[in-house]
């Protein structure tokens, strides 16, 4: 009996704007001839990425000067976040993030200062405004992907032409929930896009130690969903692959997987020191592939950008970032009621009301009822 | 009024609520075609279709996590975890996500879902099919936990749970799934979460329990001398629990025995006893006593009845407490 080949897989890598900022003119157009990104769009997205970088840089400084807690810098991954965010429809599609795609969240309507508020230790940074379709930052790894699958499933049940897109890193692909989310999503053909920001490092563990798979993208093959690898520092490639995946999902084609190959240019968080575990030469090499540098070179080559415009943008972005910080720092500290009031929908259980009163009125001791005493005995 | 077992009452509540509210979906392992391993969801897939009574892949975290997403997106999912021992893989999703979302988003994102879980020992089941982990979930802020013991209470509490705006863990004492029938109204009715029920009124001692242990308590009452007047309270809701019900009773009786099958140390009985000494100290005529499981692994079924509290142990504790 001859051995039969029962399955074959192929993983493609998409790059449209290469490291030298050369554009593949063919891939930069859809089959119908429309550009993947118009000049106006590239200009707008580039400037937006610079503004996001300015907030990210300032957030780092806030932590260093003791004005904010631990913060995970997004530096270097802006093309991935912005490209995916651009491909999704604001107010329609649902973003389900981890914590290194701020630019996508802001594009979809989350006020910038919310992210700072979160890292300043205030839950109101997660209080997503009405009409903004996203879940808050998710701190444990990979768990949010199941929520994305569930949200997408609800869209499918209600026959809404909406898509959920979830973000996670290369480290998350080792978590059980990653596999369960992918399996549920494909078993039920829900409109969900799994967007992996493979930034090469899960804190100190390099991508090659995380998994023996040659690519992250191939993991999706096991779940029977379309999958591709893209240059995650190439805005064009990210937009093209994300649009493909999102529109396929919207049209009823089920889930897709995207591995965006990028690099975490900063430490894992401000509490980390990446010099302990990674080679400076590696970081230098990736700095040259910084998506902002690549996009600026492209725009300058096309005479759409120049140094004077850059200087003006840098000033404007810095001022805007300062304004974001001012907004976040201007918000009054939360009242202690808040930690009780949102444990359940009102009315709170009697015991919780009692504990709330204890904190409000007897901060140096117990409410008499809490101690089992009547007011007279107290 | 029809007579129903606990299984039938839950099935009836599920069918009724699915009829009333199209956002309600059931998902879990074997819940569809097979009607659940205990047949609690029997016939529901045939009635409501495979898109609303969904056989999922075999993954508890996946069931819980996708149910969270469904709830966030406006559905009213009812995930079933096949046995309480398999809550482990779903613990992270239940406690670190479902329970936290309202609080961590200051009300912006909520997770209205009811997690149905067959619970407890006494049915000669395999390992990890007989545990009583309710305290773990009672201790988790943001979760409500109920454990009805009768068909009537099960239907009313389940309808409350499904309509609750927050996640509710609904433990079903599998030992009494089919042990008796009682009258259950066909019409819609709810029992508020957080209310205990006085099963028998009495003046000498308060007996407090929940789940299938309620029936061991009832059996114990039958063996007591006629001049012992015991008030039996079925907690029904474990979080929030009905402090007033037990306090009022113990203020009257001055004595209390708490019976549960979960391990004794830090079991819910410990919390109830503490509340009673806080609130009823000057009324107490004897130390509050506990008849509980031991701080051991739930044994395989050859020893399961040695582990579980029973009517004899309860009767003995009642006698000792009264004689103190």
In contact, B241 and B235? CB cutoff 8 Å: yes
How far apart, in whole angstroms, are the C-alpha atoms of residue A89 and residue A129? 17
Is A301 a member of any domain? Answer: yes
- Helix B243-253 / helix B268-280 crossing angle, nearest 10 deg: 60
Q: What is the pLDDT of residue A373?
A: 63
Nearest to B108 among A128, A148, A184 (CB): A128
Residue A208 has a pLDDT of 96
> Looking at the structure, do residues A376 and A264 belong to the same domain, yes or no?
no
Q: Select from B236, B115, B153, B238 the least CA-distant residue to A349.
A: B238
Does A184 sit within 8 Å of B72, measured CB to CB?
no
Within this chain, do residues A170 and A129 fall inside the same structural domain, yes or no? yes
Q: Phi/psi of residue B183, each to 5°?
A: -70, 130
Looking at the structure, do residues A36 and A20 belong to the same domain, yes or no?
yes
Q: Is residue A297 part of a domain?
A: yes
Number of domains in chain A: 2
Asked whether the beta carbons of A270 and A70 are under 8 A apart, the reply is yes
Query: Does residue A5 belong to any structural domain of this protein?
Result: no
Chain B closest CA to A314's CA: distance in Å? 33
**What whole-number distance in Å separates Cα of residue A200 and Cα of residue A204?**
10
User: What's the pLDDT tens digit per position in B72-116?
Assistant: 999 999 999 999 999 999 999 999 999 999 999 999 999 999 999
The distance of B133 to chain A (nearest Cα, Å) reads 22
Look at residue B246 and give its three-state secondary structure: helix
Are A137 and A278 found together in one domain? yes
Decide if B73 and A150 are in contact by the 8 Å CB cutoff: yes
Query: Which of B71, B73, B103 should be substituted to probe chain A, the one whose Cβ sees the most A Cβ atoms within 10 Å?
Result: B73
Going by C-alpha positions, the residue among A258, A249, A247 that lies closest to residue A189 is A249
- Contact in structure between B77 and B27 (CB atoms under 8 Å): yes
Is the Cα torsion angle B27, B62, A72, A240 positive or negative in sign? negative
Residue A181 contacts residue A145 (beta carbons within 8 Å): yes
Same-domain status, A24 and A103: yes
Tokens of A357: 């009163």
Pairing of strands B168-173, B144-146: parallel
pLDDT score recorded for residue B311: 98
Note whether A351 contacts B75, CB cutoff 8 Å: no
Q: With 0-12 CB in 10 A as exposed, 13-18 as middle and 19+ as buried, what is A119?
A: buried
List residues of A with catalytic annotation: 264, 268, 277
Would you call A184 and B93 a contact, using CB atoms and an 8 Å cutoff?
no
A127 and A220 fall within a common domain = yes
Residues of B with active-site annotation:
129
Q: How far apart are CA A255 and CA A232, in angstroms?
A: 19
Is the N-terminal amide bond of A347 cis, ω within 30° of 0?
A: yes
Looking at the complex, does the CB of residue B105 fall below 8 Å from at least one CB of chain A?
A: yes
Helix (H, G, I), strand (E, B) or coil at B17: helix
Residue of A nearest to B140 (CA): A343
Domain identity same for A225 and A362: no
Strand order in A94-96's β-sheet?
A: A13-14, A227-231, A256-261, A192-198, A164-169, A94-96
Check if the beta carbon of residue B98 is closer than 8 Å to that of residue B64: yes
B240/A contact by beta carbon, under 8 A: yes
Q: Are residues A227 and A344 in the same domain?
A: no
**Which residue segment(s) compose the domain that A141 sits in?**
13-329
Task: Assess if residue A343 is contained within a domain.
Answer: yes
The verdict on a CB contact (< 8 Å) between B93 and A177 is yes
Residues of A in contact with B104 (CB under 8 A): 123, 126, 136
Look at A146 and B61 and tell me if their CB atoms are within 8 Å: yes
CB of B277 within 8 Å of a chain A CB? The answer is: yes
Under 8 Å CB-to-CB from B304, ≥6 apart: which residues?
B121, B122, B124, B130, B298
Q: Please indicate, yes or no, whether residues A226 and A363 belong to a single structural domain of this protein.
A: no
Backbone angles phi, psi at A282, to 5 degrees: -65, -45
3-state secondary structure of B28: strand
CB of A234 closer than 8 Å to CB of A15: yes
User: What whole-number distance in Å separates Cα of residue B321 and Cα of residue B324?
Assistant: 5
In a mutational test of the A interface, the residue from B106, B115, B237, B241 whose CB has the highest number of chain A CBs within 10 Å is B106
Closest CB from A154, A342, A343 relative to B70: A154
Chain centroid to CA A268: 14
> Which stretches of chain B score pLDDT less than 70?
none
Q: Do B240 and A345 touch (CB under 8 A)?
A: no
Residues A23 and A148 in one domain: yes
| Portion 86-145 of A in contact with B at CB < 8 A | 94, 123-124, 126-129, 135-136, 140, 143, 145
> Does A287 reside within a domain?
yes
Q: In this predicted model, what pLDDT tens digit does every residue of A214-255 receive, in sequence order? A: 999 999 999 999 999 999 999 999 999 999 999 999 999 999
Mutate which: A146, A164, A368, vs B, most B CBs within 10 A = A146
Residue A3 in domain: no
Round to whole Å and give the CA distance between B244 and B264.
23
Domains and CATH numbers, chain B: 3-183 (3.40.50.970), 197-323 (3.40.50.920)
C-beta atoms of A372 and B89 within 8 A: no
Q: Are A35 and A107 part of one and the same domain?
A: yes
Which residue ranges of chain A lie beneath pLDDT 70? 362-378
Instruction: Tell whether A350 and A306 lie within a shared domain.
Output: no
Separation CA B291–CA B193 (nearest Å): 25
Chain A CB contacts of B69 below 8 Å:
146-154, 164
Residue-wise over A217-243: b if at least 16 C-beta within 10 A, else e? bbbbbebebbbbbbbbbbbbbbbbbbb
Q: Do A152 and B69 touch (CB under 8 A)?
A: yes
Domain end, chosen from A291, A311, A329, is at A329
CATH of the domain at A286: 3.40.50.970
Alpha helices (H) along chain A: 39-64, 78-87, 102-107, 112-119, 144-157, 176-187, 207-210, 235-250, 280-287, 291-301, 307-329, 337-341, 350-361
Interface of B with A in 17-46 (CB under 8 A): 25
Q: Convert A245-262 to b/e letters by CB count within 10 Å (16 or more is b).
A: bbebbbeeebbbbbbbbb
Q: Report the 10 Å Cβ neighbour count for B189.
A: 13
Give the count of alpha carbons within 13 A of A129, CB side only.
13
What is the spatial distance between Cα A336 and Cα B282, in angstroms, rounded to a whole number? 34
């Amino acid at each position: 009996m001859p051995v039969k080949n029962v399955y074959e897989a192929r993983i493609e890598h998409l790059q449209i704007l290469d490291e030298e900022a050369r554009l593949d003119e063919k891939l930069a157009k859809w089959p119908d001839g429309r550009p993947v990104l118009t000049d106006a769009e590239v200009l707008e997205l580039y400037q937006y990425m610079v503004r996001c970088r300015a907030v990210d840089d300032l957030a780092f400084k806030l932590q260093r000067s003791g004005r904010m807690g631990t913060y995970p810098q997004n530096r270097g991954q802006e093309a991935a976040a912005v490209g995916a965010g651009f491909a999704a429809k604001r107010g329609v599609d649902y973003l389900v993030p981890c914590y290194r795609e701020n630019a996508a969240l802001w594009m979809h309507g989350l006020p910038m200062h919310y992210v700072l508020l979160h890292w300043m230790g205030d839950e109101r940074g997660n209080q997503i405004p009405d009409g903004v379709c996203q879940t808050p930052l998710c701190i444990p790894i990979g768990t949010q992907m199941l929520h994305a699958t569930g949200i997408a499933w609800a869209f499918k049940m209600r026959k809404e032409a909406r898509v959920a897109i979830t973000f996670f890193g290369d480290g998350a692909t080792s978590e059980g929930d990653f596999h369960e989310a992918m399996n549920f999503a494909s078993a039920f053909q829900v409109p969900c896009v799994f967007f992996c920001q493979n930034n090469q490092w899960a804190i100190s563990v390099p991508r090659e130690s995380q998994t023996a798979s040659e690519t992250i993208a191939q993991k999706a093959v096991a779940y029977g969903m379309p999958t591709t690898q893209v240059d995650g520092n190439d805005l064009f490639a990210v937009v093209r692959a994300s649009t493909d995946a999102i529109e396929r999902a919207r049209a009823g084609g089920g889930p897709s997987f995207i591995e965006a190959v990028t690099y975490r240019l900063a430490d894992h968080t401000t509490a980390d020191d990446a010099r302990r575990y990674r080679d400076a030469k590696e970081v230098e090499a990736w700095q040259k592939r910084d998506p902002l540098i690549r996009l600026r070179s492209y725009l300058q080559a096309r005479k759409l950008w120049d140094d004077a415009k850059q200087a003006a943008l840098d000033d404007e972005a810095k001022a805007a970032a300062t304004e974001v910080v001012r907004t976040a720092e201007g918000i009054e500290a939360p009242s202690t009621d808040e930690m009780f009031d949102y444990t359940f929908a009102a009315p709170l259980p009697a015991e919780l009301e009692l504990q709330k009163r204890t904190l409000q009125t007897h901060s140096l001791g117990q409410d008499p009822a809490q101690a089992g005493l009547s007011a007279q005995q107290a | 009024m029809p007579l129903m077992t606990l299984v039938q009452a839950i099935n009836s509540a599920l069918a009724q609520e699915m009829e009333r509210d199209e956002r309600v979906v059931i998902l879990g392992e074997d819940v569809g075609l097979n009607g659940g391993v205990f047949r609690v969801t029997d016939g529901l897939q045939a009635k409501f279709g495979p898109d609303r009574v969904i056989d999922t892949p075999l993954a508890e975290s996946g069931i819980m996590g996708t149910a969270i997403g469904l709830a966030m997106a406006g559905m009213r999912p009812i995930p079933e975890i096949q046995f309480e021992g398999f809550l482990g893989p779903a613990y992270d999703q239940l406690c670190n996500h479902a329970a936290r979302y309202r609080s961590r988003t200051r009300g912006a994102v909520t997770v209205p879902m009811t997690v149905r879980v067959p619970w407890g020992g006494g049915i000669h089941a395999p390992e990890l099919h007989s545990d009583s982990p309710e305290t773990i979930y009672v201790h988790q802020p943001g979760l409500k936990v109920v454990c009805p013991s009768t068909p009537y209470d099960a239907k009313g509490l389940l309808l409350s749970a499904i309509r609750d705006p927050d996640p509710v863990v609904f433990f079903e004492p599998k030992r009494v799934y089919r042990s008796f029938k009682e009258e259950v109204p066909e019409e819609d009715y709810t029992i508020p979460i957080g209310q205990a029920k006085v099963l028998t009124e009495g003046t000498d001692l308060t007996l407090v329990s929940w789940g299938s242990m309620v029936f061991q308590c009832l059996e114990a009452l039958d063996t007591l001398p006629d001049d012992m007047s015991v008030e039996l309270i079925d907690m029904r809701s474990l979080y929030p629990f009905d402090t007033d019900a037990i306090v009022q009773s113990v203020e009257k009786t001055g004595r209390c025995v708490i019976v549960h099958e979960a391990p004794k140390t830090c079991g819910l009985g410990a919390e109830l006893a503490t509340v009673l000494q806080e609130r009823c100290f000057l009324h107490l005529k004897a130390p509050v006593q506990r008849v509980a499981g031991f701080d051991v692994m739930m044994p395989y079924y050859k020893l399961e009845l040695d582990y579980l509290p029973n009517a004899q142990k309860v009767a003995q504790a009642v006698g000792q407490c009264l004689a103190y």
